[in-house]
Amino acid sequence: MLVPAAASAQQTTLRIGIASADAGVLDPHLNSTTPGRGFLQHIFSGLVRLRPGELSPENMEPDLAERWESSADGRTWTFHLRRGAQCHHGFGEFTAEDAVFSLRRAATRETSAFSSDYTAFDSVEAVDSHTVRITLKNNIPSLLGVVMNYAGGFMVCKAAVEQMGNEGFRRRPIGTGPFAFAEYVPQQFGRLTAHEGYFRGAPQIREIMYRFVPSDAARDLAFQSGELDMIYGRQDQNWFTRTRALPNVRVVAMQPAEMSVIHLNMTMPPLNDIRVRQAIAHALNRDQVVQLRGRDTSVAAESVVPRGYQGHAAMPLPPHDIARARALLAEAGHPNGITIRSIHTTLTGMMTVMEAAQAQLRRAGITLEITPVEHATFHQQIRQNLSQVVHFQAARFPVADIYLTQFFHSRSIVQTPTAVTNFSHCRVADEQIDAARSETDAARRNALWREAQERIVAEVCGIPIYEQLQLWAYRDSIELGYELRAALNLAPPILHTTRFTR
């Protein structure tokens, strides 16, 4: 029986339970983890933002920039900043100098995990104290997506970074968002406080406590006992059904779905043989995974770009066929099967899928050895090219260009100067991805994106498995201030207007 939280009209602290041991590095230009983005989104703003609760790029609205315009050829963009926006903890007004510093920092590999998103930038300059001009080498379909309140688009305060240095900033992040960093204890909690100088107005929620609770059972118990007001849900149907039945609770399965892809490192034997990669693809059963995860909360993947993204193209993927998988292995010289290895996060939702894949592969004579590590360590090690097989679940700004570039372009191969998240070392669609980035005709651009997806699927660089919606539960005494349908940072945004109603 759900015990009501000790909430009243006076409650001003929001207690959130996150499914992780910690949030990872606190620098927004380096953090690419799901728990980290949910935490950091409240500290930092972008030049623009997606309207809260929405996902489509059509729903962009002003954030630190009051307005913007682009040239007729789409290569020059001018952003006019609002006056008076304040950095946290007395670091002064956010100006064009801060915006230029932020974008240059986001475009630099040494200080950003998202530098490849900015390769089309030719220059970023401050026209005056509150005007920023971005000049592109070539037109791209997602300019607003890389200056919004997400990933490299999070705006940092120059004076704070310069005073503390990058290392100090990673421990005490300074932004302009509705909540300011207050305290962080890894594997315990993170605390944010209301930013009184927030440009939209002082938040009604005065404090946010993020508790790191990797155990689904412990998180559920804390929620049901009234210790938490909002929790990240266990990613399965049973949790969704059970929690939705609790009194005075709202449960949301929201976009964007994180697509689960098994990336195969094509430089490591035996995965350098396409027949082996094809065998793995045929051994996996998407429908079985969806049944495991839940029909209300997940859907089978149908391409290497998720549904709902501009440029997504549904296409035939290798069907589940154990006999075909065994025949391909024999043809490749492995009649007695193979052993492949994976470093994997201990996050329950992802581990459940990988264990299901392990069982499916075993039926085809493929032994998958899994080395479990804590989530932040997982992110570090897979970027060091240490894993033959990488199971990665991700959502990105919903344009095919970003997803294809980060996961399948040769510029993004891990352990290269421009590395992002190309774990497979795929390079078969570079030409199509690059051509689509500068193509101004929408039909031709979509055709190039489709061809890129077809090439990647044919090469079996990665095997898309399923798309998992984001599951959250919160008390109905919380009024978010918007309809929660989607959240690109994978956690409900807490606005300055969010409040407790009782």
Would the pLDDT of 5 be above 80? no
- Using DSSP's 3-state secondary structure scheme, residue 65 falls into strand
Residue 4: per-residue pLDDT: 45
Least confident of 117-121, 170-174, 378-382: 117-121
For 75-143, give the secondary structure using H, E and C: CEEEEEECCCCECHHHCCECCHHHHHHHHHHHCCHHHCCCHHHHCCEEEEEEEECCEEEEEECCCCCCC
Q: How confident is the model at residue 236 (pLDDT cuts 50, 70, 90)?
A: confident
408-423 average pLDDT score: 94
Q: How many angstroms separate the Cα of 364 from the Cα of each of 265, 285, 332? A: 20, 12, 14
How many C-beta atoms surround the C-beta of residue 55 within 10 A? 20
152-163 average pLDDT score: 98
Average pLDDT, the chain: 94
**d(Cα 297, Cα 253) in Å, to the nearest integer?**
6
**d(Cα 248, Cα 230) in Å, to the nearest integer?**
12
pLDDT in tens, 448-484: 999 999 999 999 999 999 999 999 999 999 999 999 9
Q: How confident is the model at residue 7 (pLDDT cuts 50, 70, 90)?
A: very low
Chain-centre distance for alpha carbon 388: 22
Token pair in block for residue 162: 């310069």
Percent of the chain with pLDDT over 90: 86
* CA–CA–CA angle 112, 412, 356 (5° rounding): 105
pLDDT in tens, 35-84: 899 999 999 999 999 999 999 888 999 999 999 999 998 999 999 999 99
Residue 139: per-residue pLDDT: 85
Least confident of 340-344, 394-398, 433-437, 498-502: 394-398
Q: How confident is the model at residue 427 (pLDDT cuts 50, 70, 90)?
A: very high
- The single residue listed with the structure tokens 């894993």 is 387
Q: How many angstroms separate the Cα of 472 from the Cα of each of 243, 250, 484, 488? A: 10, 8, 10, 14
- How big, in percent rounded to 5, are the helix, strand and coil portions of the chain? 30, 25, 45
Contacts of 326 (CB under 8 A, 6+ apart): 279, 364, 365
Residue 140: per-residue pLDDT: 85
pTM given for the model: 0.81
The span from the first CA to the last CA of the chain, in angstroms, equals 20
Q: How confident is the model at residue 138 (pLDDT cuts 50, 70, 90)?
A: confident
Token pair in block for residue 386: 């240490």
Residue 3: per-residue pLDDT: 43
Q: Give the residue with greater pLDDT, 362 vs 502.
A: 362
Would the pLDDT of 286 be above 60? yes
Bridge partners of 298?
A: 468
Bridge partners of 62?
A: 48
Residue 141: per-residue pLDDT: 83
Q: How many angstroms separate the Cα of 439 from the Cα of each of 77, 142, 396, 427, 449? A: 17, 12, 21, 20, 11
Q: How many angstroms separate the Cα of 437 from the Cα of each of 117, 407, 477? A: 11, 15, 45
Q: How confident is the model at residue 271 (pLDDT cuts 50, 70, 90)?
A: very high
For 264-333, give the secondary structure using H, E and C: ECCCCCCCCCHHHHHHHHHHCCHHHHHHHHCCCCEEECCCCCCCCCECCCCCCCCCCCHHHHHHHHHHCC
Among 3, 18, 36, smallest CA distance to 231 is for 18
